Amino acid sequence: MATRSWPRVIVFSTPTCPYCQAAKRYLQQRGVPFEDEDVSQNMIAAQYMVQRSGQQGVPVIQVGNEVVVGFDRARLDALLGLQ
């Protein structure tokens, strides 16, 4: 069985954000590898997130070149090819 190739996924989050935790838990349950950027500690990641999304709130999830603002499960599923 071939290993699935995923686009690069980055979750911009903070430790106290419940929607961030839910998004990361969802990706883990679906077996999607992702990078977690804590924008409360990493100002470079925070600046990048704002430049890409126009948003200061979290979560912001980058899937390949696409940006998802908030935990939008349907959009994540569509971008990742999940059912």
Per DSSP, 7 falls in state -
Q: Which residue type does 65 have? A: N
Decide if pLDDT at 38 tops 60.
yes
pLDDT class for 82, splitting at 50, 70, 90?
very high
Per-domain residue ranges of the chain: 9-80
pLDDT tens figures, 41-70: 999 999 999 999 999 999 999 999 999 999
Q: How far apart are CA 10 and CA 58, in angstroms?
A: 12
Q: What is the mean pLDDT of residues 12-23?
A: 98
Q: Which residue type does 39 have? A: V
**CATH number of the domain at 9-80, out of 3.40.50.150, 3.40.30.10, 3.30.465.10, 3.40.50.620?**
3.40.30.10
